[in-house]
């Protein structure tokens, strides 16, 4: 077993690390304070190929696999967790959806625009009465000639007000069983009847808004169907298997960013006549933080590698997401504690990481849902 990254992935990691240090981290606190979408940073990321991580080269992409994408999301999250979730949703959930399930003409139409960053992709599964119980969604898609007509309401749509394309899950056969009721569609922002009436104000990840998206008699060409009619729930889950690896990587990046700040502060901060890093109370915190971060990263890399190898990875993805997100909440909490009162102030970045980490144990499946998925897989002897 070899834990070193191949040269091309190490180069990718170094390139993104430099980009983040130069163009992302310096603006992250202002973006958060102003709840401003990081549009310039996203454009710059696109020029580096970071919007086409799941897009084949023939469509202008920069395909690096799930492991490569995990490296990108970790690096970006260490500077800006908000930009990281935007990249994860766009690449893994949306580009991945079109590249895997779109018809060839749809791929040719959308993938170059997604890869270049001309349009940003959003993933719209959740509804007011269908959160953890995703299969309970009620958005309807009725076939009408060579179109589908969509009606419904999606909430908690990441960067929902900046997207040019939405992956929308809607019921096409209300009588069918869960795995056949729902279909997935790629819907353009400018489709008549699609509106974004509301943006939420939230605890963290303020630079990555979440929005409500409504669909009122939205006519969508049947060519926008992903996979076959009735495939939607399986597609949503299979995409989330990848998405959860991405959120795991984001969580590792958040934890690493907070750890680096805490270690630096512990070395500099003097109390009782010496740096607080000299005290075992602080040393043990740092030891626990670093150990959990390394363990989380290994789980993320394992899940990503299984996905890249085409092996079953639902169990590994949920384990990675569960452990990494809980690591991020633990590490950011400890990082605030090491900073003492200063950690509670806006001018010290750890409070932002602390707030941002909180989302990772909720979105793309709460910790409770990850435990449910893990337990079901363990008890049915499946992966």
Q: Judged by CB under 6 A, which stretch of 63-71, 126-134, 280-288, 344-352 contacts ligand CAA?
A: 126-134
Asked whether position 178 contacts ligand CAA by CB under 6 A, the answer is: yes
Asked whether position 234 contacts ligand CAA by CB under 6 A, the answer is: yes
Residues 276, 343: contact at Cβ < 8 Å?
no
Identify which of residues 314 and 334 has a Cβ nearer to ligand CAA in the complex. 314
Asked whether position 129 contacts ligand CAA by CB under 6 A, the answer is: no
Residues 242, 307: contact at Cβ < 8 Å?
yes
The owner of tokens 């993933």 is 123
Quote the least distance from Cβ 157 to ligand CAA, whole Å: 6
- What's the residue count for the chain? 383
Interacting residue with ligand CAA among 286, 331, 369, 374 (CB under 6 A):
369
Structure tokens at 129: 């009465």
Quote the least distance from Cβ 240 to ligand CAA, whole Å: 5
Catalytic residue list contains 217: no
Query: Three-class SS of residue 361?
Result: coil
Quote the least distance from Cβ 125 to ligand CAA, whole Å: 5
Q: Judged by CB under 6 A, which stretch of 14-22, 56-64, 124-132, 143-151 contacts ligand CAA?
A: 124-132
Identify which of residues 133 and 200 has a Cβ nearer to ligand CAA in the complex. 133
Q: How many other C-beta atoms are found inside a 10 Å radius of the C-beta of residue 374? A: 18
Q: How many other C-beta atoms are found inside a 10 Å radius of the C-beta of residue 345? A: 10
Residues 301, 67: contact at Cβ < 8 Å?
yes
288-291, long-range: CB within 8 Å, 24+ apart, which pairs?
Answer: 288/330, 288/334, 289/255, 289/259, 289/262, 289/330, 289/331, 289/334, 289/335, 290/259
CB proximity list for 118: less than 8 A, separation 6 or greater:
164
Phi, psi of 221 (to 5 degrees): -60, 145
Asked whether position 238 contacts ligand CAA by CB under 6 A, the answer is: yes
**Would you give the binding string for ligand CAA spanning residues 86-105, x where CB under 6 A is met?**
---x----------------
Interacting residue with ligand CAA among 36, 135, 295, 298 (CB under 6 A):
135
Q: How many other C-beta atoms are found inside a 10 Å radius of the C-beta of residue 309? A: 12
Q: Judged by CB under 6 A, which stretch of 197-205, 331-339, 343-351, 361-369 contacts ligand CAA?
A: 361-369
* 377 DSSP 8-state letter: H
Interacting residue with ligand CAA among 29, 237, 277, 290 (CB under 6 A):
237
Binding residues with ligand CAA: total (CB under 6 A): 26
Asked whether position 126 contacts ligand CAA by CB under 6 A, the answer is: yes
Name the residue among 204, 186, 122 with its Cα closest to residue 156. Answer: 122
Q: How far apart are CA 108 and CA 98, in angstroms?
A: 10
Quote the least distance from Cβ 380 to ligand CAA, whole Å: 10
Name the residue among 171, 172, 168 with its Cα closest to residue 194. Answer: 168
The owner of tokens 């390394």 is 294
Q: Which of residues 319-338 bind ligand CAA (CB under 6 A)?
A: none
Which residues of this protein are in contact with ligand CAA, per CB under 6 A? 85, 89, 123, 125-126, 132-135, 158, 177-179, 233-234, 237-238, 240-241, 314, 363-365, 369, 372-373
Q: Annotated catalytic sites, by residue?
A: 364
């Amino acid at each position: 077993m070899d834990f070193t990254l191949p040269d091309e992935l190490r180069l990718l990691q170094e390139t993104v690390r430099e980009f983040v240090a130069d163009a992302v981290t310096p603006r992250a606190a202002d973006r958060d304070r102003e709840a401003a979408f990081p549009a310039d940073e996203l454009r710059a990321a696109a020029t580096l190929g970071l919007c086409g991580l799941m897009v084949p080269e023939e469509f202008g992409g920069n395909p690096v696999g799930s492991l490569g994408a995990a490296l990108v999301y970790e690096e970006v999250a260490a500077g800006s967790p908000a930009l990281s979730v935007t990249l994860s949703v766009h690449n893994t959930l949306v580009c991945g959806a079109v590249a895997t399930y779109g018809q060839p003409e749809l791929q040719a139409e959308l993938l170059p625009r997604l890869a270049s960053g001309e349009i940003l992709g959003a993933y719209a599964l959740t509804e007011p009465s269908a959160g953890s119980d995703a299969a309970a969604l009620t958005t309807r898609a009725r076939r009408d000639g060579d179109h589908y007509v969509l009606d419904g309401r999606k909430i908690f749509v990441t960067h929902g007000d900046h997207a040019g394309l939405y992956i929308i899950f809607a019921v096409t056969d209300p009588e069918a069983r869960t795995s056949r009721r729902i279909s997935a569609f790629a819907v353009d922002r400018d489709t008549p009847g699609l509106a974004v009436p509301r943006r939420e104000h939230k605890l963290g990840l303020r630079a990555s808004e979440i929005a409500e998206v409504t669909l009122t008699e939205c006519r969508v060409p049947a060519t926008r169907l992903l996979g076959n009619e009735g495939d939607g729930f399986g597609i949503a889950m299979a995409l989330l298997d990848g998405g959860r690896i991405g959120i795991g990587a984001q969580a590792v990046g958040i934890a690493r960013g907070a750890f680096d700040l805490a270690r630096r502060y512990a070395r500099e901060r003097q109390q009782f006549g010496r740096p607080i890093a000299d005290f075992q109370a602080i040393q043990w915190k740092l030891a626990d933080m670093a150990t959990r971060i390394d363990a989380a990263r290994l789980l993320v890399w394992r899940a990503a590698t299984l996905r890249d190898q085409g092996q079953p990875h639902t169990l590994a993805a949920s384990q990675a997401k569960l452990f990494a997100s809980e690591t991020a909440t633990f590490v950011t909490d400890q990082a605030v504690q090491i900073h003492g009162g200063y950690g509670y102030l806006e001018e010290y970045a750890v409070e932002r990481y602390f707030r941002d980490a909180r989302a990772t144990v909720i979105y793309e499946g709460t910790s409770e849902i990850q435990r449910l998925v893990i337990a079901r897989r363990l008890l049915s002897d499946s992966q």
